[in-house]
């Protein structure tokens, strides 16, 4: 966890992605790191909206900041 990296889990429904992401983020926060948990539909909405109003840079910056 010494590198700042984004993680995306992609797998079929019911394979434990949300549980894995939650456990991973919880462990990182307990070790003093910062993190953000976002569900895929919310991510798509943010990206779609940033394209619609031409604020892509702001949209990506918001996603990468806490």
Q: How far apart are CA 43 and CA 39, in angstroms?
A: 6
In a domain, 29, yes or no: no
**Alpha-carbon gap, residue 7 to 18, rounded angstroms:** 12
Q: Which domain holds residue 46?
A: 38-66
Q: Is residue 3 part of a domain?
A: no
Residue 52 inside a domain? The answer is yes
Give the relative orientation of helices 40-52 and 56-64 as an angle to the nearest 10 degrees.
150
Q: Could you give the number of structural domains in the chain?
A: 1
The span from the CA of 58 to the CA of 66, in Å, is 13
| pLDDT value, residue 30 | 92
| Per-residue model confidence (pLDDT) at position 49 | 86
Residue 21 lies in a domain: no
Per-residue model confidence (pLDDT) at position 60:
76
Q: By CB neighbour count within 10 A (0-12 exposed, 13-18 middle, 19+ buried), where does 30 fall?
A: exposed
Residue at 66 is within a domain: yes
pLDDT of residue 23: 93
pLDDT in tens, the chain (66 residues): 667 777 788 899 999 988 998 898 899 889 998 887 788 898 888 888 888 888 877 777 777 775
């Amino acid at each position: 966890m010494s590198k700042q990296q984004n993680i995306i889990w992609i797998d079929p429904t019911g394979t434990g992605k949300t549980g894995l992401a939650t456990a991973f983020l919880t462990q990182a926060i307990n070790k003093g790191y910062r993190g953000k948990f976002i569900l895929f539909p919310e991510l798509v909405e943010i990206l779609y909206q940033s394209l619609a109003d031409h604020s892509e840079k702001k949209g990506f910056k918001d996603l990468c900041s806490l």
